[in-house]
Amino acid sequence: MRKPIQVEEAIDRVLEKSYEGEIEYVSIENSFHRVLGQDITATTDVPGFDRSPYDGYAVWAASTEAASASNPVVLEVVGTQGADSVWKESLKPFQAVKIMTGAAIPEGANAVIMKELTQEFRKDGKTYVQIKRKVEAGENISRIGEDMKKGSLLIEKGTVITPGISAVLATFGYHYVPVMKSPKVVVIATGSELLEVYKPLEKGKIHNSNTYMLQAQIFRAHGEPILYGIVKDTFQNVFQAVTKAMQMADIIITTGGVSVGDFDYIPKVYEHLQAQVLFNKIGMRPGSVTSAAVVGNKILFGLSGNPSACYVGFELFVRPYIRAMLGQKNCYLKRARAILTKDFLKPNPFTRFVRAKLSYHDGKLVADPIGRDKSNIVSSLIHTNSLIVLPGGSRGFQAGSEVNVLLIEDEEGASSWL
């Protein structure tokens, strides 16, 4: 007899067995969307020097004190300051140095006036600039360290690399970026009813869809999927497949074979592996027979063969484990409060996870349950981006009420369950 446990308890049993994976280095070109393997701290001040945010003229502000539209000040342009033309002397009063965007402020200057507000002219072989308004000391100078201060913590380990993070990594010269190794996850599909995707349909059989669905879920979770393929449901086949898979990966997922039918060999496989079973029944729908077990530092997840139950089981239990391996602190699914758009009036003794599309309307979050809420349905997964949580033991839920929703397209996670 199997004893159902609560969802939260099941996740915690999985997380207790988790451990952090290793880091590796990849070139910055290959680092997008990987998970940072260490904290990123500013190794220099940015800007690294006081610099000009505009094209214009670096001046000593006091030289422009008397400037006005009717009485422009004229300064002598004594040089140019850019990346290739550095002006090495110190600026004197009533001198100006032409300066390019991003160039260092020359010594002696304490302000920049934008090019658009000036007029340059030549006279007697010299260059001058006419300025029609007073410039304040400090005007138009990007100060050393104003963007990022040397030594400050910028990005935490476990963060997924976004375009903005790529920019920061490049700024500090990370040609190679420390990232977490993607946990390897094998997917074994069990069931004699399964056909390879390239084979024509036969009466009584279905194409193996869970393998490709899980592959995509593993990619989304920043894991590295390994597709074992289809295994016919005999004990020998399944046992052999799981044994081989344990040599290939850290995480082994089987689909199907976890129920009480004559061909459900997963419990027996766990037994023969002398695995420590973490759970084999959960007080939830869909996927109440979702199972997990450990052998050494390998974890085995027995997900349902029903697509919707399989999908939910992956997000609820496998994803937190992958997050832990990726060194992420927030391993649980992120949650939000949203307005339910349909009635769920039938009382349910178990917690239900309803596939839903979460969207915004006028600044508010709205959760739309999608399609038929049955465990063997595939089509409801097309637009699923979240799971509505309907706690068990309640008397049903009415459209318009506020519910908890778990986000599955999210990269941040949460530090605790609901």
Which of positions 79-118 make contact with a second copy (CB under 8 A)? 80, 82-84, 86, 98, 100-104, 115-116
Out of 5, 15, 23, 28, the residue judged to bind a second copy by CB under 8 A: 28
Q: H or E element: which one contains 167? A: helix 163-171
Output the smallest distance, CB 364 to a second copy, in A: 6
Q: 78 or 336, CB closer to a second copy?
A: 336
Q: Pick out residues in 320-349 that bind a second copy (CB under 8 A).
A: 336-339
Output the smallest distance, CB 135 to a second copy, in A: 18
Q: 101 or 276, CB closer to a second copy?
A: 101
Which listed range, 125-133, 171-179, 243-251, 324-332, lies at the site for a second copy (CB under 8 A)?
171-179
Q: 215 or 276, CB closer to a second copy?
A: 215
Out of 53, 93, 349, 396, the residue judged to bind a second copy by CB under 8 A: 53
On the question of a cis peptide bond just before residue 47, with omega within 30 degrees of 0, the verdict is yes
- Residue of 106, 65, 60 whose CA lies nearest to 82: 106
Helix/strand/coil for 227 = strand
Q: 18 or 384, CB closer to a second copy?
A: 384
Out of 35, 59, 161, 326, the residue judged to bind a second copy by CB under 8 A: 161
Size of residue set near a second copy by CB under 8 A:
106
Residue 267 in contact with a second copy, rule: CB under 8 A: no
What distance in Å separates the CA atoms of residue 274 and residue 290, rounded to the nearest whole number?
Answer: 18
Q: 218 or 252, CB closer to a second copy?
A: 218
Out of 201, 247, 274, 416, the residue judged to bind a second copy by CB under 8 A: 201
- Three-state secondary structure readout of 282-335: ECEECCCCCEEEEECCEEEEEECCCHHHHHHHHHHHHHHHHHHHCCCCCCECEE
Output the smallest distance, CB 274 to a second copy, in A: 27
Helix/strand/coil for 164 = helix
Q: Pick out residues in 277-316 that bind a second copy (CB under 8 A).
A: 305-307, 311
Output the smallest distance, CB 232 to a second copy, in A: 8
Which listed range, 202-210, 240-248, 295-303, 320-328, lies at the site for a second copy (CB under 8 A)?
202-210
337 burial (CB, 10 Å; 0-12 / 13-18 / 19+) is exposed
Residue 127 in contact with a second copy, rule: CB under 8 A: no
* E strand residue ranges, 46-160: 56-59, 73-81, 95-99, 111-114, 118-123, 126-131, 153-155
What distance in Å separates the CA atoms of residue 245 and residue 226, rounded to the nearest whole number?
Answer: 9
Q: Pick out residues in 374-413 that bind a second copy (CB under 8 A).
A: 374-385, 402
Residue 3: which region, alpha, beta or left (left: phi > 0; alpha: psi -120 to 50)?
beta
Out of 6, 166, 243, 276, the residue judged to bind a second copy by CB under 8 A: 166
Residue 36 in contact with a second copy, rule: CB under 8 A: no
Task: Say which DSSP state 182 is in.
Answer: P
Q: 16 or 412, CB closer to a second copy?
A: 412
Q: 268 or 337, CB closer to a second copy?
A: 337
Residue 395: which region, alpha, beta or left (left: phi > 0; alpha: psi -120 to 50)?
alpha
Residue 37 in contact with a second copy, rule: CB under 8 A: no
What distance in Å separates the CA atoms of residue 105 and residue 61, rounded to the nearest whole number?
Answer: 13
